[in-house]
Chains A and B, each alone.
Chain A
Amino acid sequence: DQQVKQNSPSLSVQEGRISILNCDYTNSMFDYFLWYKKYPAEGPTFLISISSIKDKNEDGRFTVFLNKSAEHLSLHIVPSQPGDSAVYFCAASAESGGGADGLTFGKGTHLIIQP
């Protein structure tokens, strides 16, 4: 059973508007969450992360919100730009490997920014 779920396979947003990508998780041991962006023929690129002791982390146009009680996180991109068109992966980890922990990924959401 998937422990990290991205229920929207794709999302289309107009340039300049806000993009909101959602992610749900089911493992209460997860305490660190990350968002990655992937272009075709490239590996995932780290975007932003958040620890479970926070509920918000912001980096430029990207903000991640964490709702622990709902086991839900979201990535907000504002304003959306054409170069943001890519597949976005949500990932989670639990500190159990002494500093090296495999990530559990969602299936990804394909974000398309319309001009």
Chain B
Amino acid sequence: ETGVTQTPRHLVMGMTNKKSLKCEQHLGHNAMYWYKQSAKKPLELMFVYNFKEQTENNSVPSRFSPECPNSSHLFLHLHTLQPEDSALYLCASSQGAGLGQGWYNEQFFGPGTRLTVL
């Protein structure tokens, strides 16, 4: 596998279900991101992890819970979602860097998970 992979590609769930989205990057990057794209809206940043530490939570409701066990894997745990949470969820990774070491913010995206909440 190369690049950024996401599973599942499609997910349909009820409002009481618990499910998880998985992202894996094979690029040796240190930073990983979750974005949400709703219909007719721009991609919206949800979470940022840099060297496995969460560095940004963009006011995301607690029914979305991220997990980053290592620099290659990122999960998004979902529980008691609402129909308006139906969207395309995209994972991305970038080289990342510590302060003072320069930075490269070209982010590489996975294909996304199309989520439908009934």
A positions within 8 Å CB-CB of B? 2, 4, 32, 34, 36, 41-46, 49, 89, 91, 93, 95, 97-108
> In whole angstroms, what is the CA distance A106 to B45 when docked?
12
- A95 with B56: in contact, given A100-B48, A100-B49, A100-B50 (CB under 8 Å)? no
| Interface of chain B: mostly helix, strand, loop or mixed | loop
Closest to A42 in B: B111
> In whole angstroms, what is the CA distance A43 to B31 when docked?
17
Q: Looking at the complex, which one of A2, A34, A46, A99 makes contact with B42 (CB distance below 8 Å)? A: A2
Q: By the criterion of a CB under 8 Å from any partner CB, how many residues of chain B are at the interface?
A: 37
> In whole angstroms, what is the CA distance A49 to B108 when docked?
13
> In whole angstroms, what is the CA distance A49 to B97 when docked?
18
Q: Looking at the complex, which one of A43, A45, A98, A108 makes contact with B97 (CB distance below 8 Å)? A: A98
> In whole angstroms, what is the CA distance A32 to B106 when docked?
10
Q: Looking at the complex, which one of B30, B99, B106 makes contact with A49 (CB distance below 8 Å)? A: B106
| Interface of chain A: mostly helix, strand, loop or mixed | loop
A96 → chain B closest CB, angstroms: 9
- A44 with B106: in contact, given A99-B99, A102-B58, A108-B42 (CB under 8 Å)? no
From 24 to 50 in chain B, residues with beta carbon under 8 angstroms from any chain A beta carbon are: 30-31, 33, 40-45, 48-50
Residues of A within 8 A of B40 (CB): 107
Closest to B99 in A: A98
Q: Looking at the complex, which one of A42, A100, A104, A107 makes contact with B94 (CB distance below 8 Å)? A: A100
B60 → chain A closest CB, angstroms: 12
